[in-house]
Amino acid sequence: MTIQKDKPTVLILGGTDFIGRHLVHYLVTQNLTSHIRVADKMLPQTAYLSKQHEQAFEKIEFKQANLVNPASIASCFQRDDNTEFDYVFNFAAECKYSQVEEVYQDRILNLSVNCAKEAAKRKNKFYLMLSSAEVYDSDQVASKESSKIKPWTVVAKYKYQAEEQLKKMEGLNLVILRPAVTYGPGANTGLTPRLIIGRVYKHLNEEMTLLWSKDLKLNTVHVNDVVRACWHLALWYQSTEHPQVPIFNLADKQDTDQETINTHLRAIFGIQTGYHGSVVSTFAKLNLNSVVEDINEKHLQPWADILKANNVQHSPLSPYLDPELLYNNAISVDGTAIEERTGFKYSVPYLSKENLQQIIDEFKALNLWP
């Protein structure tokens, strides 16, 4: 691989997963770097990469690694020519919900701290930690970066603990990013389970009825804007002084709520949608685990039947909804500070039917969607 000295070198931790693969594709297609190394425990060959992303990964260096282990982390940072990577992006973290707390302690907090320690020791010019908008109080008011912190998922609880530890590290050139619900081609989580459930209700020929109200905020940001923001911040960081660690939210202009999403689901699948009344929602609040169990039971078998009928042999996609994500908690985020302070502009300002259809179309191309 030819190294062009005039362009920065990049290390992407957790780079095979959803956001990481999109950053790889962006950097490769825009020819922005001289060398990219991706470190991840998941091999590209088993990650259900799209054809475009496969082609991008052919042009980078991949290193399989356990990013909890300090010795393994050190080997990921070590370059053959003994120079240091210019920019490091850390997307590696446990993202599945309802794991035991020890898993998050190890795969979010310890992983984040150990990777950042290595970056601080090597004095990389820029280090980005991907956090979550779930760290904020879950009311309907749009949270700014200075708003009340009250993590409402266990993932967010450990992300915030990691943020706090990283902010204290000497020599770490840190920026923290807190995106809203991130969606786009290749996403297994976020809005994708709602698309899957919409497909289930088309199959069942029934109305799709949701808990809580139509105006429950579920603010969104397209993955293309997440990766563009990551690169934008790396360049911006070099040109300004930082007496405090910069923290930025990411959320598009849509102010997305449940009804915004349902409008598109109706258009895509030709289904009816509605909302349970206050009596059912109040019951759900008091008996959430039982209600979620019933919801998942209703969706899982029909989805399996649809996959089988359409000869989809193996699919990582599931309509399973985790109880943590079904609480009456809003994701309401003000994403304007990054524009005002750094000049960043969102390229996908609104959630659209076409953007959601792209998610389905990519999974269809991989024979993962019926």
Residue 1 confidence (pLDDT): 37
Q: In the block, which residue shows the tokens 């599945």?
A: 96
Residue 339 confidence (pLDDT): 98
| pTM reported for the whole predicted model | 0.95
∠ CA 244-245-248 to the nearest 5 degrees? 120
Residue 249 confidence (pLDDT): 98
**Which one, of 151, 136, 225, lies nearest residue 182 by Cα?**
225
Residue 292 confidence (pLDDT): 84
**Which one, of 56, 9, 59, lies nearest residue 34 by Cα?**
9
Residue 10 confidence (pLDDT): 98
Q: How long is the chain?
A: 370
Is 9-183+220-253+330-349 a CATH 3.40.50.720 domain? yes
CA dist 225 and 361 (Å) reads 20
Number of Cβ within 10 Å of residue 262's Cβ equals 20
Residue 36 confidence (pLDDT): 98
Residue 133 confidence (pLDDT): 96
∠ CA 11-56-173 to the nearest 5 degrees? 20
Structural domain boundaries of the chain?
9-183+220-253+330-349, 192-216+256-326
**Which one, of 86, 113, 99, lies nearest residue 5 by Cα?**
86
Number of Cβ within 10 Å of residue 268's Cβ equals 17
Residue 279 confidence (pLDDT): 65
- Enumerate residues 6+ apart whose C-beta is below 8 A from 100: none
Ordered DSSP codes for 45-96: GGTT--HHHHHHHTTSEEEE--TTSHHHHHHHH--TTSPPPSEEEE------
Residue 186 confidence (pLDDT): 97
Residue 245 confidence (pLDDT): 97
Residue 3 confidence (pLDDT): 43
List, run by run, the mean pLDDT of 10-residue segments along the chain (370 residues): 70 97 98 97 95 98 94 95 96 81 89 97 97 93 96 93 97 98 96 96 94 91 98 95 95 96 97 83 76 90 97 93 81 97 98 98 97
